[in-house]
């Protein structure tokens, strides 16, 4: 294990520190934004000192580690004296080294390891093999290379107590797997939540100090300060569909809650051009009008969808040349129509999972359409938009490293440097406990690229714990510094939402709807009432946004109003108010 880091990579953000409250052995993840997308000359130290992994840095040869499958394992020492483990003479993709740990039900485990291959470049996954089960649970993926160390981050949420073998998978069994600084650190849900809360305090809020004084500048003790949010900075929105045009209750429900939306289907090609050559934007135009009238910002969803299934029926059968023409007409039509009116475009939806356009038009299809969209609407953010990247560790195809690989393909040409790229992660969670450790590791990894990340379609399948699990997902996103917006694909039964239902057929709020309403309040509005102390001071920490503040004199009840904006980037704002008696 390397003791000092040699790296000086700007992309490497390591403010991670571990606090051991001495004597108690209590650990806290005070701030853990530890990730890199770069391949490093030397591995870093094991996160959390290796956590529950024995001999995490291989300072004691291979003690604690055994061969998994065929092959041999051994310790090796680099020229610089760094010790690491090697699995060689492999014949199967799972042949590697393993260590057995005890997983405890209900705990969240963060995993990390530095990995390298003896040749070439390939995906390495960490796999948890639980006792008594042949089920292999993937915990994370990295594209490892020869010649430098790559950080794999991920994790697992244990829904049962059991021993588990931790092992590594790489398809090319003719190459060796090398590892160092392996770490598995358990957290209780309470610890995880407290870390989220700390992060929210740091990332989404700022401290404000009001000084209330008399005109002669002496402190005005006892003044009442009422603080009401008028606009939240953080976009927390909800998908919307055509029922909004006709259902008054749905309109009221929506407008009283949300300022950001995505039309779930109405702007898609299969909705606007059912018959070739007959474009019809009636519904999408009307929805945009409704949104504008109500001060709601709209994400454009989507120009193209790379899944063959979701083409307009007639598009599926076009020859490459016909498709190229039809697609050119489509992108020009929809982007010119809504140019400057939307806050985002999902340009080629789900192009990590699928490649309809690449198959028909060539490898560069996505790249060409991002360039075209940018040319037509240069001020609007252009998103990739994919599912399972943060929600399901078993879907390797769309792992965070593979998402980045596709993004890099799109960015390859010089012209692409002008594009306002953004990272769209749908966030459709299935049933079972969400794997918050994997979700966070994906956000950390993609966050390092430096583009804004949005959860674009957050949802969670119906299940008894839906409300609790959905809250966990929303808090995880809101607390992550790289996330700049959340749109849910959820809504009331009357609008046909049947997965993440927020209001029942009578517009009664469901338990999951209550979670959403509570978060809107918690992250937003107030009002908060405070009384100035003997120094005339009120200290408060406010979520970023715009506020109306009313000060009332304790004796005369005279009042004074002020509008303030609480923005990211200052640690404390001082606001001085003088009041006449």
Ligand X SMILES: *[C@@H]1O[C@H](CO)[C@@H](O)[C@H](O)[C@H]1NC(C)=O
Torsion of the alpha carbons at 455, 461, 290 and 310, rounded to the nearest 10: 80
What's the token pair of residue 504?
């029942």
| Least Cβ distance, residue 25 to ligand X (angstroms) | 25
Helix (H/G/I), strand (E/B), else coil: 567: coil
Round to whole Å and give the CA distance between 361 and 94: 36
Round to whole Å and give the CA distance between 189 and 476. 12
CB atoms within 10 A of CB 325: 12
Residue 78 Cβ vs ligand X, minimum distance, rounded to whole Å: 20
**Identity of the residue, 3 or 581, whose beta carbon is nearer to ligand X in the bound complex:** 581
Rounded distance between C-alpha atoms, residue 516 and residue 238, angstroms: 10
Report yes or no: 167 and 92 within 8 Å, Cβ to Cβ.
no
Residues that bind ligand X (CB under 6 A): 69-70, 91-93, 119-120, 123, 125, 131-132, 159-160, 163, 169-172, 174-175, 214, 216, 218, 230, 280, 282-283, 362, 364, 396, 412-413, 432, 496, 498, 548, 561, 563, 581
Q: What whole-number distance in Å separates Cα of residue 412 and Cα of residue 415? A: 9
Of residues 101, 221, 94, 108, the one with CA closest to residue 167: 94
Q: How far is the CB of 31 from ligand X (least distance, A)?
A: 29
d(Cα 541, Cα 524) in Å, to the nearest integer? 12
Nearer to ligand X, 320 or 362 (CB): 362
Closer to ligand X by CB, 88 or 172: give it: 172
User: At closest approach, how far in Å is the CB of 172 from ligand X?
Assistant: 4
Q: Taking a C-beta distance cutoff of 8 angstroms, is the pair 159, 438 a contact?
A: no
Measured from the CB atom, the residue of 169 and 471 that comes closer to ligand X is 169
* Choice between 5 and 136, CB closer to ligand X: 136
Tokens 């489509």 correspond to what residue?
Answer: 330
List residues with catalytic annotation.
350, 457
Q: Which is nearer to ligand X, 93 or 509 (CB)?
A: 93
Find, among 166, 177, 168, 150, the residue nearest to 43 by Cα. Answer: 150
**What is 8-42 written as a DSSP string?**
--TT-B---EEEEETTTTEEEEEE---B-SS-BSS
Q: Are 121 and 138 in contact (CB under 8 A)?
A: no
C-beta of residue 154 within 8 angstroms of C-beta of residue 166: no
CB of 288 to ligand X, least distance (A): 14
Smallest gap, in angstroms, from Cβ of residue 199 to ligand X?
A: 26
Element (H, E) at 336: helix 320-338
3-state secondary structure of 461: coil
| Cα separations in angstroms, 281 against 269, 288, 289, 334, 562 | 10, 10, 12, 9, 43
Toward ligand X, which CB reaches closer, 199 or 264? Answer: 264
State the DSSP H helix or E strand holding residue 348, giving kind and residue range, or none if neither: strand 344-349
CB of 27 to ligand X, least distance (A): 25
* Residue with smaller CB distance to ligand X, 66 or 174: 174
* Angle subtended at Cα 32 by Cα 29 and Cα 38, rounded to the nearest 5 degrees: 150
Q: Kindly state the smallest distance separating residue 547's Cβ from ligand X, in Å.
A: 9
CB of 447 to ligand X, least distance (A): 24
∠ Cα 20 26 32 (to 5°) = 65
Q: Which is nearer to ligand X, 335 or 361 (CB)?
A: 361
137-147 burial string, b = 16+ CB within 10 Å, else e?
bbbbbbbbbee
């Amino acid at each position: 294990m390397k003791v000092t880091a040699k790296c000086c990579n700007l992309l490497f953000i390591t403010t991670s520190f571990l606090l051991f409250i001495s004597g108690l052995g209590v650990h806290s993840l005070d701030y853990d934004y530890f990730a890199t997308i770069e391949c490093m000359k030397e591995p870093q130290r094991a996160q959390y000192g290796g956590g529950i992994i024995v001999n995490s840095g291989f300072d004691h040869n291979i003690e604690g580690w055994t061969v998994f499958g065929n092959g041999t394992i051994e310790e090796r020492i680099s020229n610089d004296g760094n010790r690491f483990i090697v699995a060689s003479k492999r014949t199967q993709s799972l042949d590697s080294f393993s260590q057995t740990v005890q997983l405890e039900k209900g705990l969240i485990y963060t995993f990390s390891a530095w990995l390298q291959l003896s040749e070439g470049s390939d995906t390495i996954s960490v796999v948890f093999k639980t006792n008594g089960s042949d089920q292999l649970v993937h915990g994370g993926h990295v594209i490892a290379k020869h010649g430098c160390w790559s950080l794999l981050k991920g994790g697992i949420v244990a829904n049962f107590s059991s021993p588990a073998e931790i092992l590594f998978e790489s398809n090319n069994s003719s190459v060796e797997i090398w590892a160092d600084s392996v770490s598995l650190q358990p957290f209780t849900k309470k610890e995880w939540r407290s870390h989220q809360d700390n992060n929210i305090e740091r990332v989404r809020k700022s401290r404000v100090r009001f000084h209330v004084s008399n005109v002669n500048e002496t402190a005005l003790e006892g003044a009442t300060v009422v603080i009401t949010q008028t606009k939240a900075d953080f976009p927390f929105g909800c998908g919307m569909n055509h029922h909004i045009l006709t259902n008054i209750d749905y309109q009221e429900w929506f407008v009283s809650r949300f300022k950001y939306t995505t039309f779930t289907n109405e702007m898609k090609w299969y909705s606007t051009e059912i018959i070739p050559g007959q474009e019809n934007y009636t519904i999408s135009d009307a929805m945009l009008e409704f949104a504008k009238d109500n001060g709601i910002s709209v994400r454009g969803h989507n120009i193209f969808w790379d899944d063959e299934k979701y083409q307009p029926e007639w598009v599926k059968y076009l020859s490459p040349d016909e498709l190229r023409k039809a697609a050119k007409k489509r992108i020009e039509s929809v982007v010119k129509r809504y140019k400057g009116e939307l806050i985002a475009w999902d340009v080629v939806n789900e192009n990590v999972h699928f490649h309809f356009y690449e198959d028909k038009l060539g490898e560069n299809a996505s790249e060409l359409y991002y360039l075209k969209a940018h040319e037509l609407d240069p001020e609007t953010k252009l998103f990739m938009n994919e599912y399972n990247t943060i929600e399901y560790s078993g879907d390797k195809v769309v792992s965070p490293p593979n998402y980045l690989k596709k993004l890099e393909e799109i960015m390859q040409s010089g012209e692409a440097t002008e594009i306002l790229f953004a990272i769209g992660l749908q966030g459709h969670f299935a049933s079972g406990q969400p794997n918050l450790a994997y979700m966070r590791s994906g956000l950390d990894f993609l966050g390092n690229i430096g583009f804004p990340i949005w959860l674009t379609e957050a949802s969670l399948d119906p299940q008894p714990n839906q409300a609790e699990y959905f809250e966990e997902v929303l808090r995880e996103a809101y607390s992550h510094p790289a996330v700049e917006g959340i749109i849910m694909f959820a809504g009331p039964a009357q609008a046909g939402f049947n997965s993440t239902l927020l209001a029942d057929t009578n517009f009664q709020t469901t338990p999951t709807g209550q979670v959403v309403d509570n978060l809107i309040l918690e992250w937003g509005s107030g009002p908060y009432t405070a009384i100035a102390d003997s120094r005339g001071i009120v200290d408060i920490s406010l979520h970023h946004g715009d506020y109306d503040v009313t000060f009332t004199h304790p004796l005369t009840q005279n009042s004074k109003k002020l509008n303030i904006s609480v923005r990211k980037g200052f640690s404390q704002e001082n606001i001085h108010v003088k009041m006449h008696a």
